[in-house]
Structure 1
Amino acid sequence: MATLNPYIYFNGNCEEAFNFYKSVFQKEFAYLGYYRDVPQSDREVFSETDDKVMHVSLPISKETVLMGADNKEAYTELLTYTNFSLIVHADTKEEADKLFNGLSEKGQIKVPMNMTFWGSYYGICMDKFGIIWKITIESEK
């Protein structure tokens, strides 16, 4: 079966964002590379500022890796992320609350964590980088 992993482009603050996610999820980077690490022969393709992130991967579970990069076009113009959100399926209410509280720190709570009419514990927040997160525990069958 194929695996789907989110890849987020940032406007020059990818490293700051991923250090934040690293602290919230309490995981370590599998890879963090900068444009300065690209071999000179490939510099025409990767011409972004040398101290910006070329690629970062943060495994947050056995199946899911959060990935990202800075993008020259992204950090020359302000991006507005309005067409997606990231959803995390927590194992416990405590884990859901911890993730929600961490991700919403200095961000915005859109829907506080609560029991929904469909039986899930669920909330929505926007982190301080403008990324929308949905945290949930699926309802019991």
Structure 2
Amino acid sequence: MKTNTYLHFNGNCEEAMNYYADILGGTITMMMQFKEAPEEVLKNIPDFAKELIMHCTLEVSDDMAILASDYLNADEKFNAGNNFAISLNADDEDEALSVFNGLAEGGTILMPFEDAFWGGKFGMLKDKFGVSWMMSLEDDSQIS
């Protein structure tokens, strides 16, 4: 299982990630704005946020990536204490589900681990210690 740092920004994700790419010598391999989400997701996004970054991946090396997005949460304000998560990328669905459910015990599931519109599966939670986690499982059907 691969672990990455996932950062949240207060409306300046694109600027920050371009800065980190320049400083670290990495390459941004994905940058998706909220307005690029499917209609059923987009209808829940406030107009002010549509130009913000929903997801960005900065590949720094074969074993290091920084993932990020602009923070958008109606239930919790952005602050320096909630602007990161540990992102786990699993290759095995049983392992992913077991780890996700284990971390969720005594915590709060923010997004159930289920099919994601971009392929594969995805879920988010805050564990019983207040640490934010993201679990991703890639869709192998699109890999050739």
TM-score by length of 2: 0.49
1:64 maps to 2:59: no
Q: Considering only CA atoms, is the larger Rg found in Structure 1 or Structure 2?
A: 1
- Please tell me whether the aligned partners of residues 71 and 78 of structure 2 are also in contact (alpha carbons under 8 angstroms): no
- Please tell me whether the aligned partners of residues 10 and 70 of structure 1 are also in contact (alpha carbons under 8 angstroms): yes
1:42 maps to 2:41: yes
Q: Residue 9 of structure 2 aligns with which residue? A: 10
Q: Which has the higher strand share?
A: 2
- Please tell me whether the aligned partners of residues 34 and 53 of structure 1 are also in contact (alpha carbons under 8 angstroms): yes
* Structure 2 unmatched ranges of 5 or more: 85-144
Deviation at 1:41? 2.1
Deviations 1:57-111 (A, max 9, x none): 001110111000001239x945124898xxxxxxxxxxxxxxxxxxxxxxxxxxx
Give, in whole Å, the separation in 2 of the partners of 1:82 and 1:29.
23
* Structure 1 unmatched ranges of 5 or more: 85-141
Relative to structure 1, is the Cα distance of residues 61 and 11 closer, same or farther in structure 2, using a 3 angstrom cutoff?
Answer: same
TM-score by length of 1: 0.50
State the 4+ residue runs in structure 1 displaced beyond 4 angstroms: 45-48
Deviation at 1:40? 1.2
1:79 maps to 2:82: no
Give, in whole Å, the separation in 2 of the partners of 1:30 and 1:72.
22
Give, in whole Å, the separation in 2 of the partners of 1:54 and 1:4.
19
Q: Which amino acid aligns with 1:4?
A: T
Q: Residue 55 of structure 1 aligns with which residue? A: 55
- Please tell me whether the aligned partners of residues 38 and 46 of structure 1 are also in contact (alpha carbons under 8 angstroms): no
Deviation at 1:30? 1.1
Identity %: 26
